[in-house]
Amino acid sequence: MTVQDIHPSLAAMEIVCAETAAAPTAMVVFGASGDLAHRKLLPGLAQIRQRGLLSEHFCLLGCGRTEYSDEQFRQMAREALRKNAKGISDDTARSFIEGLYYVSGDYDDPALYQRLKDRLAELKARHRISGCDIFYLAVPPALYGRITEHLGAAGLSCKGEPECQQCARLVVEKPFGRDLQTATELNQILYRWFSEEQVYRIDHYLGKETVQNLMIFRFANGIFEPVWNRSHIDNVQITIAETLGVEHRASYYDQSGALRDMFQNHMLQMLALVAMEPPSSFDADRIRDEKAKLLRSIRPFEFDEWNSSFVRGRYGPGIVNGQHVPAYREERGVAADSTTETFVAARLFVDNWRWKDVPFYLRTGKRLARKDTEIAITFKQVPHSLFGSVGLDELPPNVLVFRIQPEEGMSLHFQAKRPGSKICMGTLNMSFAYKDVFHAEMPEAYERLLLDCMTGDQTLFTRFDSVDLAWRLLMPVLDAWQAGRTPLPEYPAGSESFPQADALPAADGRRWRRL
């Protein structure tokens, strides 16, 4: 039976795809000689060109401290595409690389921005670009404010200029500040030269297919939203587990830690998508309004009770994927007396009508047993088991799982009869994997976000009110940790968890899902 057999008018809507191609655009990438540009930005843009969604009039002007000629930068780009872009044809690679240019200088030198302005005007005339300028800050966070000030002083921000056909856009990587004060100060600098409509704060987790699918799953299907509430859901677990250590990011990570690096942005944003109310439309600000409302509804942490809601840890030596690995404080670039956490677990409550008293368990950590990012919705058990006479007084709950990485998909665990005796019951897993259904490589999150930025769609970008709310929520925790008022237990690298983290859901009679 097909969709058309059920209802003829639905046949044409079985697959609905809406994709907007980017208009002619000039992009300036600060930090263009760095790792992010090499691994994500250049390959992502080339993939968009391969899909026919990047204008032939697109050009990219790289900017960095490393001295490159245009041809040297193009050679670097060729290597980046060879290593990190799959399925790019020779013709696509050639046409994309022909539109790449480079200018070098010191980010604190005003002369750099005048050269950049002159070169940008020349390239826009050459490529016949009259639309949007995008300034992408792929640089350390400490440079965000300084670069923004220079862009504004050079007249490149276009704020408040109605004659601009499309204003300049500023793309900022996370982390957005180290705490509430620095986030507010940085935002004041950005607002001096750019309006909120011009600022695109990237959270690459929001570009992942399964995360995007949360809204489609919830709001395009009539069968799930009626049970998406405290009457039917027992708990929600959000996990981001990594097998890697700090790798080449030690100098940054030791000043950041898991709470700032993963929790304040990725995890709270995913929680907002899971729990927010239905927006009035698929409009960027209507969606972001609901996410902000959700974050405002998270129960604040009191100074005398936060310890029962948050647990932190740090990995010690152990074995990961059969290899012996050092403890965190033995990693190159990490201070010997570091008090930085590499694991955070939390229990949150959302105080609104839909979610009152439903616990949300969140955990993220490095050097764990397996790489796994998922959102698991555990439904309440049946109120009365009919099968108590055969020892089945308690039946396993139904669990809906959104698998975000490494293999994107969804699964639903439910009870069913198995072949055999009259009562032969077991948990079945109805699973959907993107790669098996669509027979294609999943697009990188940066592809989605870069295209959205070029088309002016801010749906998957974080608005400052959400940034502000997240920092306000977590400041009591950061302050307590900074004061050294909490333990920092060590867990063996390669473990799934450790006792202090397990105690968090155990206090409610629950436990973490296995990695």
H/E/C letters for each residue in 382-428? CCCCCCHHHCCCCCCCCEEEEEEECCCEEEEEEEEECCCCCCCEEEE
Q: What is the average pLDDT across 428-440?
A: 82
Q: What is the average pLDDT across 131-146?
A: 93
Q: Same structural domain for residues 46 and 67?
A: yes
In this structure, are residues 112 and 66 in contact, taking their beta carbons and an 8 Å threshold?
no
Does 16 reside within a domain? no
What is the average pLDDT score of the chain? 90
Q: Among 159, 185, 201, identify where a domain stops.
A: 201
Per-residue confidence at 304, pLDDT binned at 50, 70, 90?
low
Res 439: pLDDT: 73
Per-residue confidence at 174, pLDDT binned at 50, 70, 90?
confident
Q: Same structural domain for residues 59 and 108?
A: yes
Does 15 reside within a domain? no
| Confidence check: pLDDT of 338 > 50 | yes
Does 69 reside within a domain? yes
**Encoded tokens for 466:** 């959400």
Q: Same structural domain for residues 68 and 90?
A: yes
Which is more confidently placed, 440 or 379? 379
Beta-strand ranges (E) seen in 4-55 are: 26-30
Angstrom CA distances, 463 to 183, 289, 292, stand at 12, 9, 9
Check which CATH number belongs to the domain holding 138 and give it. Answer: 3.40.50.720
d(CA 377, CA 443): 25
Per-residue confidence at 12, pLDDT binned at 50, 70, 90?
very low
| Confidence check: pLDDT of 420 > 80 | no
Q: Same structural domain for residues 482 and 415?
A: yes
| Confidence check: pLDDT of 3 > 50 | no
Q: Same structural domain for residues 282 and 343?
A: yes
| Confidence check: pLDDT of 427 > 90 | no
Interhelix angle 42-50/90-97, rounded to 10 degrees, is 120
Q: Same structural domain for residues 219 and 167?
A: no
Measured in Å, how far apart are the chain's first and last C-alpha atoms? 38
d(CA 340, CA 491): 14
Res 390: pLDDT: 58
HEC profile for 465-476? HHHHHHHHHHHH
In this structure, are residues 427 and 394 in contact, taking their beta carbons and an 8 Å threshold?
no
Does 420 reside within a domain? yes
Catalytic (active site) residue 266: yes
Does 137 reside within a domain? yes
Q: What's the domain range around 93?
A: 26-201
Does 448 reside within a domain? no
Per-residue confidence at 414, pLDDT binned at 50, 70, 90?
confident
Q: Same structural domain for residues 383 and 491?
A: yes
CB neighbourhood size of 411 (10 A): 16
pLDDT, tens digit, 9 for 90 and up, residues 470-500 = 999 999 999 988 887 788 999 999 999 999 9
∠ CA(95), CA(98), CA(101), 5° rounding? 145
Number of domains the chain is built from: 2
Query: Which one of 57, 204, 266, 413 is the catalytic residue?
Result: 266
Which is more confidently placed, 439 or 39? 39
Res 18: pLDDT: 66
Which positions ≥6 away from 374 have C-beta within 8 Å?
A: 237, 238, 239, 401, 402, 403, 404, 513
| Confidence check: pLDDT of 442 > 80 | no
d(CA 275, CA 271): 6
Res 307: pLDDT: 67
Q: Among 151, 170, 201, identify where a domain stops.
A: 201
Does 372 reside within a domain? yes
Per-residue confidence at 302, pLDDT binned at 50, 70, 90?
confident
Does 9 reside within a domain? no
pLDDT, tens digit, 9 for 90 and up, residues 73-89 = 999 999 999 999 888 99
| Nearest alpha carbon to residue 377 among 206, 224, 266, 504 | 224
| Confidence check: pLDDT of 306 > 90 | no
Q: What is the average pLDDT across 353-358?
A: 97
Percent of the chain having pLDDT more than 70? 91
Q: What is the average pLDDT across 5-11?
A: 47
Q: Same structural domain for residues 102 and 87?
A: yes
Pairing of strands 233-241, 425-433: unpaired
Q: Same structural domain for residues 258 and 165?
A: no
Check which CATH number belongs to the domain holding 384 and give it. Answer: 3.30.360.10
Q: Among 184, 201, 218, identify where a domain stops.
A: 201
∠ CA(376), CA(407), CA(440), 5° rounding? 135
Q: Same structural domain for residues 236 and 295?
A: yes
pLDDT, tens digit, 9 for 90 and up, residues 46-70 = 999 999 999 999 999 999 999 999 9
Q: What is the average pLDDT across 204-214?
A: 88
Q: What is the average pLDDT across 414-418?
A: 77
Asked if residue 175 has a cis previous peptide bond (ω within 30° of 0), the answer is yes
Per-residue confidence at 422, pLDDT binned at 50, 70, 90?
low
Angstrom CA distances, 110 to 27, 106, 148, 150, 153, stand at 19, 9, 12, 7, 9
Q: Same structural domain for residues 191 and 223?
A: no
Q: Same structural domain for residues 215 and 183?
A: no
Q: What is the average pLDDT across 190-197?
A: 94
| Confidence check: pLDDT of 8 > 60 | no
DSSP per residue, 267-316? IHHHHHHHHPPPPSSS-HHHHHHHHHHHHHHBPPPPTTTGGGTEEEEEEE
